[in-house]
Structure 1
Amino acid sequence: MDTEAIAFAPFEAHHLDGAVALSREAAWPHRKEDWAMIWALSEGRVALEGDSVVGTAFMTPFGETCATLNLIIVDERMRGRGLGRRLTAAALELAGDRECRLTATADGLPLYEKLGFVATHKIRQHQGITGQIDAPANVKWVGPEALPTLVALDRAAFGANRAALYEALAKEGPFAAIQNGESIVAFAATRPFGRGEVVGPVVAENVDQARDLIAFILSGKQGRFVRIDIPEHAGLSSWLEGLGLAHVGGPIAMVRGATDKSQSAGVRTFALASQALG
């Protein structure tokens, strides 16, 4: 069918099943719950052939200055006809003047470059079955009362206010933290995702803190399938492979309309919440 006959509409709840079917065909691990979580934080556009979902694109805003574009997918039989470009353009329109970030496959890179995105670094995806790991003594679980502090630390590392994301993460799983006296200085989250569970985001002052946070969380997941997505410069890849979490590839992080978001000297991101959300 000519893509001119494809209808575009806001993404709604009744599109979720079709979207999940698309992602399964593309060998994405996302469950319906994973789609629903991102949709709850986002605005989306869906491409429809009759009543069938043949493409999606989401824009997740983080305040008025930053957004991620994600869950951009096109039915395999519709690819090569410009539908991905139209969906991405629709998501960019939703983003307005915000800086936009996304993660791209090698195949998607040329399209995003034509739309003004610039590659910044690679993401390394690690996953596998967790073995027996000792829990470091300097990490503990923290409750919802810590959320304002965690949001502030994440803002310093990520460069935008992701309070809504952290409220959603708190409903999905717990947070672990490292304290200096009474102050939280580093933290990590974990939740169900895809084939098993994910660890991320991890925000810390240094790689030693990041390792302790991850080890603490993994110590309670022996025998489970766990995934962690890290920036290539995190300094964790060899260590994660040593824990049995193999490097299985990963996308390329890109940005469009970058603004100066100089990180504070304190913390940086060692693992992503997800490839979709950064």
Structure 2
Amino acid sequence: MRALSGRSARSRHGLFLVEGPQGVREAVRWAPDGSVRDVYLTPAAAERYPEIVAATRDRATAPAGARTERSRGHAGSLRMHVATPEVLDAMSPDAQGVLAVLRSETAGLTWPDVARPGARLVAVLADVRDPGNAGTVIRAADAAGADAVVLAGRSVDVHNPKVVRSTAGSLFHLPVVTGPALADVVAHLRGAGCQVLAADGAGSHDLDDLQDAVGQGGVPDLTAPTAWVFGNEAWGLPAADRALADAVVRVPIRGRAESLNLATAAAVCLYASSRAQR
């Protein structure tokens, strides 16, 4: 279990870890059918989080195909274990007494999950390497009501433990697709009816101006189905990537800050669209 903190072990075994009560609670409730394999708790955690114990038992005994808020797995596919704090600490120093093991192959999603007519808001991360940023954007996208998140190009592994922890359970609330090239992402989402907006400090459009123009025929129109593209933490979006978008939008900086953190800028842009589409 400890080895699953490394990408090679996750790839070799087809498993990944979910650490801490919040992530495990959401994994047991919302992860895809058959993906949750094991849940580990210390005796103190089992007493402190009875809802995790109940949801795990419900899901472990649910008939195959049954889908309720608290039981969404295949019968017999999930095992619950009570272990000493020393055992949990040996598995993960970040478990906080609660740990789950999930099958990554059943958690994977493909283009039909996001590139479909009716998607209103999608977040696309292009070559984003920092796991904390990636996880925080997934969490912000979930909070803003996005339909999906795409990690394109050479972005961080979505099953990296820090990514999973940073999502605070949002990883299991909406489709998250990984690996495709950015050009393919843009083509698919545009084909599904989304305008593609790149967020970059070099943008020719000011986000405030777009918000002021909502309902007045502004271009680009924030009320339209939108895929927002966010670039790497260090170098942003190269010119070639910006050229793939329908428009490049900058978040206004009114103070002396040189720029915004990637996850903060993503939250601002996603909520601008969410409010306009409300």
Scaled by the length of structure 1, the TM-score of the pair is 0.25
Q: Rg larger in 1 or in 2?
A: 2
If each structure's strand is expressed as a fraction of its own residues, which one has the higher value? 1
Tell me which of the two structures has the higher relative contact order, counting C-alpha pairs closer than 8 angstroms and 6 or more residues apart: 1
